[in-house]
Structure 1
């Protein structure tokens, strides 16, 4: 596995552990459909939350959240709706939200969580 891929895998695991520590339930990880992939789909106790995870060794070339621009947010919303269509029993009657988690370092990570991206 490439070093960058390994860092991303460890970042996604750290993000999932962080969310579980916040009392969230992980519904699915790395969900794929023809339109793309969602890193984490979770339930925070009231809403279904699609979580985009961005891991970087440092912010030398920009903060990880800079990669979640308007185009990426629109794509995440389309994928969130596709996930809900594919999982109607889980999604029925529940609000949906898109969040992003940035992880900096190589572990232990510095974690930042942006809620409710639009």
Structure 2
């Protein structure tokens, strides 16, 4: 596993821990289908939350949050519908969130944006 993959996995674990601390229930991680992947699927009350996690170890290429495109968010909305279609449980709504982790000198800041799409 390369350094980028390790950073991504560590970021996803930090994000999952952070979301649980904030009261979300993790339902699935790294869910894949032929159309893509959802990093984290969670529940907040009656809301299904599809979470994209982005981790950057420097700001050389911009912030982690800025790296999420509109096309990625639209794909996540579609993937959330596919994930939900395979379940019996019903949700009041689906929300797409981004958890962005920016690291400098070994310390990461967390930015959680709810309902970005």
Runs of 4+ in 1 over 2 A off after TM superposition: none
Alignment map for 1:1-118 (pairs within 5 Å) = 1-87=1-87, 89-90=88-89, 92-105=90-103, 107-118=106-117
- Report the TM-score when normalising by structure 1: 0.92
Q: Distance in 2 between matches of 1:74 and 1:93?
A: 19
More helix by share: 1
Deviation at 1:46, TM superposition (A): 3.1
Q: Which region of structure 1 is more displaced relative to structure 2, 10-19 or 63-72?
A: 63-72
- Report the TM-score when normalising by structure 2: 0.92
Q: Note the residue ranges of structure 1 that are not aligned, 5 or more in a row.
A: none
More strand by share: 2
Q: Distance in 2 between matches of 1:2 and 1:76?
A: 25
Is residue 99–residue 110 contact of structure 2 (8 Å, CA) maintained in 1? Answer: yes
